[in-house]
Amino acid sequence: MKKIFFNRQTLPYFITCFFVLSPVLQVQAKSRKTVQNDFNTPLHLLQADYKFPYGIPQQKDIQSVLERVLVFLEESTPTQVLDGKTQQVLSDYSRIDADARLQQGAFRLASYEWGVTYMGMLSAGQALSDQRFTDYTLDRFRFLAETAPYFRQQMEAGRPMDSQMRQMLQPAALDDCGSMCAAMIKAAPLMPDTDLKPLINNYVDYIMRKQSRLSDGTLSRNRPFFNSVWLDDLFMSLPALVQMGRYGSDKRYYDEACRQFKLFAEKMFVPGQGLFRHAWVQGMDSHPDFFWGRANGWALMTLVEILEVLPESHPQRAYLLDMLRAHIKALAALQSPEGLWHQLLDRNDTYLETSASAIFCYAFAKAINRGWVDAQAYGPAVLLAWNAVAAKVDAQGMVQGTCVGTGMAFDPAFYAHRPVSPYAAHGYGPVLLAGAEVLRLLENFHPKMNDSAIQFYTHHFNTAVPIFEERIESNHGLKVPGHSRRGRRPVVFTIGDSTVRNSDGSGRNGQWGWGNFLGDFLNPDSFSVENHALGGRSSRTFIEEGLWQRVLDVVEEGDYVLMQFGHNDGGEPHRGRARATLKGNGDQAESFVMESTGDTILVHTYGWYMRRYIQDVLDKKAVPVVCSLIPRNIWQDGKVGRNDDTYALWAQQAAESIEGAYFIDLNKLICDKYDVLGKNFVNTLYYGDHTHTSELGAKMNAAIVAEEFKRLIQEK
């Protein structure tokens, strides 16, 4: 072995080796130290090194993000008109002349990006019950509506005019119209003191009559080539049309919106990818597939906006739902581990972009909340996305990482190298929409960290340890519909309000519904029982919130659906809890403007909704069983009060009007029993109020339902 000597020649060598190898040796030592320190810790419990927060966001943290955005935008988007010569504020709008200009802010008040922001502010205001967000939109629409007539005078006289106002009064592209128009229609019912109709009608007129189209009617542009189709234009037009369909009660707008979506999809949806190409030009032999993130966001956002208002009976609804589900499935597979999506969705060598990611977060969450897609499958992707998007909102409320405005191109370099900027207006509306919809998601479902991963459950688990099996004891919990099916044995589904299933079904508030115990009185070898009722719902809102569709999707031939509604069908249809139906069993309907959202809705009678459930079940070749509502613990002259001239009667009439439906007069059966038991004993069957039963009361009612159900089965 050679001896190594330190001298002038060898010293530089040893110094170099020390500085080169020292960091490596330190890393190795640190690595060994980590393993040694964690030797007694199970490896699966070691903390992961996530780039963005991983887990379930808190409401207060979401609210904080949205509030920072609100404060920044309030300061960045003034609502004043300046004299062009003196730069003084014009408080008297009649003095607006050719030199008058809107005060310059960081963002334009009448752009398509800001139409999305106005929608986001309205949604956040509703989700947070915070009027500040709502007022942001209402104040600016009021300002634009009040100044518009005076700027219009300048335009009609051929004089120069503020460019922002010209964009609104004399639109020259779909960008100028769609999102602003949709936002105004949503806001209009909330500001009856302001007439937005002239602006709304002007926008719709441009979309329907002035925008260029291909020979087949597809909305098109003439840049950068004649007869170009841009995916972005789905959102720049169709949400306005469907909102107009509801606003003006005119079916042709629904039809045109659906027709346009199909025309775009035929040209731009790539089934093998589940994505939309950004551009299509008539006459090209080949149409390159560049899957730009934000354009796909506009397409997905268009789908949820259409489905939100399109009538359930519209013939194109099923097609649109299929497109939504296919698109969401493809997008979920392309989400990065950081939670964001890439600028070009299928190119991991392009940067992660904020605005598209926020749009996907919003659309996924809304689709889950409406029952269009499964929370278990896509809920974790929503929270992963929100945590990443929230991290892109800085302390000042500025949204970082948003791609600037982008045209169409046929090479990857164009998209991959588009700049990003916090002054790219496209990021703010999607962040507001995403935050608001995630808040609703957390109210509707029960995400939980289970074995270090985010999982979505339909009921609450009061445990901090890993959940290895999701149990339902005595059918107390609400799970994914159809979970209990065993082979060809029928499932008995129950739907209804809190008297069928209260809160999360655990009885933690001392109140139980009869659906929790129905399975205890039926032979488990013959049936499985699933209780999908939910407190606070009426016959109308159980449908509107997508709860019925989730159940109906898994109902099979030979199943049974027991339904009991009525306790929440009273009140006002459009304000307060806004869940009421019209009284009676007829076919009449009435339009109402929702106080909380400004949306116009069509409300039917209680009997109409019950017949809808019945027919839906029969269409599945299953058996509908209508139950009249259980009585309230209210007595008069020694007898408990009955509903035999209102909801109990209407429920019976609905069941008897359709062949194949069965009826259990639960109201009468229970009232008869109560009258025998007497008021003092019946008081023990309720807990905390005169509506919700205790465990004893719920079990007694469940036994009555089970007995009548078995009798009906034997007769059948």
**pLDDT tens across 43-57, in order?**
766 778 898 889 999
Phi, psi of 59 (to 5 degrees): -55, -40
Q: Does residue 353 sit in the same domain as residue 415?
A: yes
SS3 563: strand
425-468 pLDDT, tens digit each: 999 999 999 999 999 999 878 898 988 899 988 666 666 666 66
In order of 586, 629, 630, 638, 666, the CA distances from 648 in angstroms are 15, 6, 9, 21, 8
| 457 located within any domain | no
351-405 pLDDT, tens digit each: 999 999 999 999 999 999 888 999 999 999 999 999 999 999 999 999 999 999 9
Q: Does residue 132 sit in the same domain as residue 252?
A: yes
Instruction: Give the confidence band of 288 by pLDDT, cuts at 50, 70, 90.
Output: very high
Q: Does residue 438 sit in the same domain as residue 572?
A: no
Q: Does residue 162 sit in the same domain as residue 250?
A: yes
Helix residue spans in 488-605 (DSSP H): 541-544, 547-552
Asked if the model's pLDDT at residue 478 lies above 60, the reply is no
User: Which of 396, 420, 450 is the last residue before a domain boundary?
Assistant: 450
| 278 located within any domain | yes
What would the mean pLDDT of 289-305 be, rounded to a whole number? Answer: 98
Question: Looking at the DSSP assignment, which residues form a beta bridge with residue 600?
Answer: 593
Four-residue CA torsion sign, 414, 270, 177, 363: negative
Using left for φ > 0, alpha for ψ between -120 and 50, and beta otherwise, residue 621 falls in left
pLDDT of 114 reads 97
| 116 located within any domain | yes
Distance CA 430, CA 66 (A): 11
Asked if residue 695 lies in contact with residue 686, where contact means CB atoms within 8 angstroms, the answer is: no
Task: Name the helix (H) or strand (E) containing 200.
Answer: helix 197-205
Domain that holds residue 428: 59-450
Distance CA 363, CA 544 (A): 17
Instruction: Give the confidence band of 4 by pLDDT, cuts at 50, 70, 90.
Output: very low
Using left for φ > 0, alpha for ψ between -120 and 50, and beta otherwise, residue 227 falls in left
Q: Does residue 494 sit in the same domain as residue 442?
A: no
* 149: preceding bond cis by omega (within 30 degrees): no
592-616 pLDDT, tens digit each: 998 888 888 999 999 999 999 999 9
User: Which of 418, 450, 482 is the last residue before a domain boundary?
Assistant: 450
- Give how far the C-alpha of residue 79 lies from the chain's centroid of Cα atoms, to the nearest Å: 31
Q: Count how many domains the chain has.
A: 2
| 486 located within any domain | yes
Structure tokens at 115: 């139409």
Of 655 and 9, which is predicted with more confidence?
655
SS3 119: helix
Pairing of strands 228-230, 279-281: antiparallel
pLDDT of 16 reads 46
pLDDT of 7 reads 52
Q: Can you state the angle between helices 197-205 and 238-247, rounded to 10 degrees?
A: 130
Q: Does residue 559 sit in the same domain as residue 649?
A: yes
Q: Does residue 443 sit in the same domain as residue 476?
A: no
Q: How far apart are the first and last CA of the chain?
A: 98
pLDDT of 178 reads 92
pLDDT of 167 reads 92
Question: Looking at the DSSP assignment, which residues form a beta bridge with residue 81?
Answer: 102
For 126-186, give the DSSP string.
Answer: HHHT-HHHHHHHHHHHHHHHHHHHHHHHHHHTT----HHHHHHHS--SGGGTHHHHHHHHH
Instruction: Give the confidence band of 636 by pLDDT, cuts at 50, 70, 90.
Output: confident
What would the mean pLDDT of 219-236 be, rounded to a whole number? Answer: 96
Q: Does residue 482 sit in the same domain as residue 446?
A: no
Share above pLDDT 90 across residues of the chain, in percent, rounded to a whole number: 74
Q: How many CB atoms lie within 10 A of CB 365?
A: 30
Q: Does residue 206 sit in the same domain as residue 315?
A: yes
Asked if residue 424 lies in contact with residue 61, where contact means CB atoms within 8 angstroms, the answer is: no
Q: What is the CATH number of the domain that holds 135?
A: 1.50.10.10
Instruction: Give the confidence band of 1 by pLDDT, cuts at 50, 70, 90.
Output: very low
Q: How open is the CA angle 506-511-513, to the nearest 5 degrees?
A: 75
SS3 247: helix
Q: Does residue 527 sit in the same domain as residue 615?
A: yes
Q: How many CB atoms lie within 10 A of CB 420?
A: 17
Structure tokens at 506: 């655990």
User: Which of 416, 450, 484 is the last residue before a domain boundary?
Assistant: 450
Asked if residue 605 lies in contact with residue 643, where contact means CB atoms within 8 angstroms, the answer is: no
How high is the mean pLDDT of the chain? 90
Task: Lowest mean pLDDT of 291-305, 330-344, 507-521, name the range.
Answer: 507-521
309-324 pLDDT, tens digit each: 998 889 999 999 999 9
| 581 located within any domain | yes
Q: Does residue 317 sit in the same domain as residue 185?
A: yes
Distance CA 366, CA 368 (A): 5
Q: What is the CATH number of the domain that holds 525?
A: 3.40.50.1110
31-83 pLDDT, tens digit each: 344 444 455 556 766 778 898 889 999 999 999 999 999 999 999 999 999 99
Distance CA 548, CA 544 (A): 8
Considering the entire predicted model, what is its pTM? 0.67
| 476 located within any domain | yes
| 683 located within any domain | yes
| 280 located within any domain | yes
Q: Does residue 601 sit in the same domain as residue 665?
A: yes
Distance CA 628, CA 502 (A): 18
